[in-house]
Amino acid sequence: MKKTMIAATILITLVVACVLFNQFYAAQNNDSPPLPDNEPPNTAMSSDPVDDSETRLSVQEMRADLDYLVTTLEQVHPSLINGWNKEQREAIDTVYNQLNAPLTKDQFYYYAIEIITLLQDAHSFISPYSNSTKSLSMSVYWTEEGPVVLNSTLHLQRGDLLISLGGLKSQELVSELKKVISAENEEWVKMRGSGVMITDSFLKHLNLVKEDTVEVYINRNGEILSLNLPFNKKNVQESMNTPFDTGNGNYSYTINKDLSLGILQINACIFDEEYKNTLQNFFAEVNQLKINHVAVDLRNNTGGDSRVIDEFLRYVNVDKFTTFSGLVRFSPQAKELRNGDLSSGFERFPSTEMKNTNQVSSAFSGKLYALTSAKTFSSGNMFAVMLQDNKIGTIIGEPTGNQPSAYGDILGFSLPHSQFQFSLSYKQFLRPNEQLNEQLTLEPDIPVYTTRQDIIDGRDAQLSKLEEMIKTEQ
């Protein structure tokens, strides 16, 4: 078991649960080392939670839940091998001291989440939201100018710039979102926060709801407007919308003969026959048409199975590549949930240089690119990191929502009284170029940001830049 955990390629999966967080992607490759299995046990993760957010918890019940949470984090998470630091311990004590009267489950959540966000690990989080959560009809994408409305509604127009939400300006919103969103960087806070900040739970927590509406100020064509937005009457689910979401499923591709450009869109890292057939068909056309440029669009990719990377590299003319290294922490919980042998300690696994032995005979030898955004996360982020660190491709776009060297492979738990389900990483993964381990996001080789005007005009900023580069070469 121990040797199986320490071998070749690595899977990091986006792990989010319940209604406000996406379903888990789970994958297991017995031929690869430390492969995270990010599907928590059924007892801890329910796909159809009951709405009991108004159930009141006693002080003793809440403190018992926090005891369980703090102890589990201490025993499982790799960052806590040496325990909490002084600042973290003081923050935990503050949370305990604030629990001096019964609270509803919904209210208690905002105390519990403050503890797990101390880890600054986007794969470790608490998910309390039920299917009854309501939200405002406002889909936004966070540009450098601020949150911009993506889709017109009864009250909003595409391109409206959000000035304030319930009286909170953009940076104030970010500060509040950081308290409730587990993240390694601000890109992920904004990406995930675009859905969280419109929920009735979050807005009520901040006392921003007045008569079941929320006041927003927007900039529309230079005019400042005040609107009172109501909540959706029907149940809604949080999503992370982007201006480049084509809705073409997990995989799709296009070929531009004039530019000699093939674009492969991978929206989820799912290693199945459909993916393998899509790759085969795509590169067959690329080879037949003698295409010189290939771009992998990872801008909507929030993770999955890292074997999609290995399969992709079979079609690229690269002799070898360097893998991630990292650390596995052993604990009684990991031993039970992963059928392990050890219940304490940790072990490091080294980075290895892999030969591309399964390369196809007509591998692509032209120029390779990857398009990224703040939504590029987990195995999607790993895909881009592998291309950049191994100098296989050029990264174009926005900084990603996941730290290249990050925690992952999650275990699922449930707090005893509130029944909040939470996920917790027990491995750490370090990028091939370990000199860049401290970077909080994958920095593109060619930064290209989507602007408010791009959203208004329906212009794809990253793809336009790539096409411009190719035209310059021709």
What are the Cα distances from residue 20, in Å, to 142, 371, 405, 452?
18, 26, 25, 26
Identify the helix (H) or strand (E) that includes residue 346.
strand 346-349
Q: How far apart are CA 353 and CA 386, in angstroms?
A: 12
The CATH superfamily assigned to 140-230 is: PDZ domain (2.30.42.10)
Q: How confident is the model at residue 309 (pLDDT cuts 50, 70, 90)?
A: very high
> Taking Cα atoms as reference points, which of 145, 238, 138 lies closest to residue 195?
238
**14 pLDDT higher than 70:** no
Per-residue confidence (pLDDT) for residue 2, from 0 to 100: 38
Residue 52 pLDDT class (50, 70, 90 cuts): low
Q: Looking at residue 246, what is its pLDDT? A: 76
Residue 13, pLDDT score: 38
Cα dihedral 368, 373, 374, 380 sign? negative
Task: State the Rg of the chain over Cα.
Answer: 23
Distance CA 394, CA 280 (A): 22
Most confident of 32-46, 101-115, 232-246: 101-115
CB 297 within 8 A of CB 249: no
- Residues 236, 234: Cα–Cα separation, whole Å: 6
pLDDT of residue 132: 56
Tell me the pLDDT tens digit for each residue of 159-177.
999 999 999 999 999 999 9
Q: Within 10 Å of residue 448's Cβ, how many Cβ atoms?
A: 21
> Residues 368-386: pLDDT tens digits?
999 999 999 999 999 999 9
pLDDT of residue 127: 85
> Percent of the chain, pLDDT > 90?
82
Structure-block tokens of residue 122? 């986007």
Nearest-angstrom CA–CA distance, 18 and 231? 20
Whole-angstrom distance, CA of residue 176 vs CA of residue 164: 13
Comparing 181 with 33, the larger pLDDT belongs to: 181
Residue 9 has pLDDT above 50, yes or no: no
Write out pLDDT tens, residues 58-85. Answer: 999 999 999 999 999 999 999 999 999 9
Nearest alpha carbon to residue 73 among 41, 42, 109, 116: 116
Q: Is the pLDDT of residue 187 over 80?
A: yes
Residue 416 has pLDDT above 60, yes or no: yes
pLDDT at residue number 249: 87
The tokens describing 97, both together, are: 């001291």
pLDDT of 134 reads 87
Confidence of residue 240 (pLDDT cuts 50, 70, 90): confident
Mean per-residue pLDDT of the chain: 88
Query: What gap in Å lies between CA 166 and CA 254, rounded to an integer?
Result: 43
Beta bridge partners of 406: 429
DSSP 111-164: HHHHHHGGG--TT-EEE---TT--BBS--EEEETTEEEE-S--SS--TTPEEEE
The pLDDT value recorded for residue 300 is 96
Residue 232 pLDDT: 85
Rounded mean pLDDT, 308-324: 96
- Rounded Cα distance between 365 and 362, Å, is 9
| pLDDT single digits (tens) 326-356 | 999 999 999 999 999 999 999 999 999 999 9
pLDDT at 474: 78
Confidence at 43, pLDDT banded by 50, 70, 90: very low
Range name among 17-31, 234-248, 371-385 with the lowest pLDDT average: 17-31
Contacts of 64 (CB under 8 A, 6+ apart): 416, 417
Identify the pLDDT of residue 245: 83
Taking residues 31-55, report their average pLDDT: 43
pLDDT in tens, 247-294: 778 999 999 999 999 999 999 999 999 999 999 999 999 999 999 999
- Mapped onto helix, strand or coil, the DSSP state of residue 74 is helix
Which burial class, exposed, middle or buried, applies to 185 when counting CB atoms under 10 A from its CB (0-12, 13-18, 19+)?
buried
Which CATH superfamily does the domain covering 251-408+433-473 fall into? Answer: 2-enoyl-CoA Hydratase; Chain A, domain 1 (3.90.226.10)
**Sequence spans of domains, the chain:** 140-230, 251-408+433-473
Residue 41, pLDDT above cutoff 70:
no
Q: Note the pTM of the prediction, 2 decimals.
A: 0.88
Average pLDDT for residues 351-367, to the nearest whole number? 94
Please say if the pLDDT value at position 19 is more than 60: no
Residue with tokens 């888990």: 24
Whether the per-residue pLDDT at 129 is higher than 90: the answer is: no
pLDDT for 233 equals 64
Measured in whole angstroms, the distance separating CA 219 from the mean position of its chain's CA atoms is 29
**Looking at residue 248, what is its pLDDT?**
76
DSSP state of 437: T
Separation of alpha carbons 333 and 27, rounded Å: 20
Lowest mean pLDDT among 17-21, 121-125, 211-215, 457-461: 17-21
- pLDDT, greater one: 398 or 135: 398
